[in-house]
Structure 1
Amino acid sequence: MPELKLTYFDFHGGRGEAPRLALSLGGVPFEDRRIPVSSWADLREEMPFHAVPILEIDGEVISQSNTICRYVGKLTGLYPKDPLPAARCDEVMDAVEDISTQVVSTFGTQDDAEKRAVRERLCEGPIRLYLERIQEMLVIRGGEYFAEDRLTVADLKVFVWVRTIRSGRLDYVPEDLADNYAPRLVAHNDRIKAHPGIVSYYAGH
């Protein structure tokens, strides 16, 4: 087993959380390097694309969150070996990445009124669309999981995203947005949250 070091911010959620969960669920040892947000300005230049997460594999740095998800998914058995189920996972993870990028782009908005207007437009447009379409993918694929009728890194990626939307931590994003537009995703979120490995992970962090 390679020596792994995952670097991401010191909070629950975001692009580094799904790989943390996958490695923990798979019982794969890794160094969990958590960066205080206050230190980011000093560390940003060290990162290949001035972004995290990064995964060091025997000292080699790999970037891009979905690439990391696929790699750790293969290590832990949480990524399909067959091409079509793998593509289904990739489709879902890329969709989450697309909408996450739109939300993250609002973080630097200083004017509160402007932030409110932008996020309200996101809620009524792109976020609602992605919630509904990702829910449709879940339903078409059986309603429980996104690929192979089992837990994969795609489920973990969606779990982290929906959990964040429902958390109340995003200003001007209603906590019940997902409940209103994607109840099947909410049920999926609650089911993943109740997984013994997920419960154990959050109990320890």
Structure 2
Amino acid sequence: MARNDPIYKLVYFDLRGLAETARYIFAYAAVEYEDYRVKREEWPYQKDATPFRTLPYLEVDGDVIGQSNAICRFLAHRFNLAGHDDLQQARVDALVDYVNDVRTGGLIGWIREEDKEQKEKLKAEFFNKTVDVYLATFEKHLKANVDGNREYFVGNAPTWADFHIAILMGMLQEGEANVLAKYPLLKAHKARVDNLKGITDWIAKRPKTAM
């Protein structure tokens, strides 16, 4: 890193979770940053010092940005991963918002459930009744991107929406290995993102965590 380049510090728990898309952006852009991981026992004492009493947050030369999507959007604009014009950027943002719909529409519920019996019930309901609607919608959007030959969701080059969606697909596959069997475009898209320069190296070296 050159002396005058910005100094980035990404702060999150020792998880992939809400910080992983930002890590993909850094990896793809080949930009150095500090991947600081807060220990669970330390978090209660640090919470009040964060912008929104949440993680992750990003320090940029001492300035602090909170909220995971705001962090990713900032980095994506800085590293040319937000879309080439305002219409593409709106499409990227809409896809990212839809990932949040999936998370709040049942995914996080079963992941966070602690009761084993209830956890299995919620998981079965999500994968048997809910997830196909979301996956079919994602596949529809990918299929509609004829300008990008259906390789990426918006335009003909990766955006941070591609990273965000590929990470979500990975989470789903951890819950049900064959979840993408009926969605060949999504399955190929995830493999394409995972094999992008920088990202494939990050996946190989990143800490092994539960989520």
TM range (shorter): 0.7 to 0.9
Q: TM-score, normalised by structure 1?
A: 0.86
Q: For 1:155-174, what aligned pairs fall within 5 Å after superposition?
A: 155-167=162-174, 173-174=175-176
Q: CA deviation at 1:196?
A: 2.6
Letter in 2 for 1:30: Y
**Structure 1 CA distance for aligned equivalents of residues 43 and 127 of structure 2:** 28
Instruction: Give 3-state SS (helix, strand or coil) of 2:129's partner.
Output: helix
Q: Which runs of 5+ in 1 are unaligned?
A: 168-172
**Structure 2 CA distance for aligned equivalents of residues 37 and 158 of structure 1:** 27
Q: Which runs of 5+ in 2 are unaligned?
A: 207-211
Paired residues in the alignment total: 198
Instruction: Give 3-state SS (helix, strand or coil) of 1:73's partner.
Output: helix
Q: For 1:27-176, what aligned pairs fall within 5 Å after superposition?
A: 27-37=30-40, 39-101=42-104, 102-142=106-146, 143-167=150-174, 173-176=175-178
Conserved 8 A contact 2:30-2:198? no
Conserved 8 A contact 1:54-1:61? yes
Instruction: Give 3-state SS (helix, strand or coil) of 1:196's partner.
Output: coil
**Structure 2 CA distance for aligned equivalents of residues 39 and 144 of structure 1:** 42
> 1:191 maps to which residue?
192
> 1:170 maps to which residue?
none
Q: CA deviation at 1:5?
A: 1.1
Q: TM-score, normalised by structure 2?
A: 0.84
